[in-house]
Amino acid sequence: MTPLKRTQLQRKSTLSRTPKTAKQKAARAKRLAKQKLDCHSPYWCKKADAVWSKVVRSVGRCAKCGTTSKQLQAHHLIRRQNVVTRHDINNGICLCAYDCHKFGEGSAHSNPVVFSVWLNEALPERWMWVRMHRFDAMPAGIKPDYKQRFEDLSAILKELEG
């Protein structure tokens, strides 16, 4: 995992960028309507991302330092660019945003090697899962059904909240 640059952290998709003119608004609405009909679209991928993150963060504390008082984020153990494992609950770990996720000493993004050593010691089963799935790939010609993933994750979240 390469550390994210600030520009990458701040990059927004064309859908989340706020449209300014009426023409831009209309174009955005059209894109959105088209994507809603396509279960493989970025629209559904982002919807699944959001619910995946909520499910992962539902534990309510940082898995590494144990804090409950800081902002929590969901970290992908296998990089999220891998669409096979992107929305798998096993691939998510709840970390405090600054110290353990992105910037602190031994945090997941600033020092992935140290972080891996920690994961192996603290959560060996999870580390084993990561090692088993890190090279998973979609079969040729198959695209992930993000809408289905969104629905499955929403059901999990509902159960957690209910």
Minimum distance from CB of 3 to Zn ion (Å)? 17
Residue 43: C-alpha distances to residues 5, 34, 65, 111, 161 (Å):
24, 9, 34, 31, 24
Residue with smaller CB distance to Zn ion, 24 or 68: 68
Minimum distance from CB of 122 to Zn ion (Å)? 12
Distance, in Å, from the CA atom of 74 to the CA atom of 76, rounded to the nearest integer, reads: 7
Helix (H) or strand (E) holding 74: strand 72-76
115 closest CA partner among 82, 88, 93: 93
Minimum distance from CB of 67 to Zn ion (Å)? 5
Residue with smaller CB distance to Zn ion, 64 or 147: 64
Minimum distance from CB of 135 to Zn ion (Å)? 28
Residue with smaller CB distance to Zn ion, 28 or 70: 70
**Site of interaction with Zn ion (CB under 5 A):** 62, 64-65, 96, 99-100
For the beta carbon of residue 99, count every other beta carbon within 10 angstroms. Answer: 18
Angle between helices 42-57 and 146-161 (to 10 degrees): 30
Residue with smaller CB distance to Zn ion, 44 or 115: 115
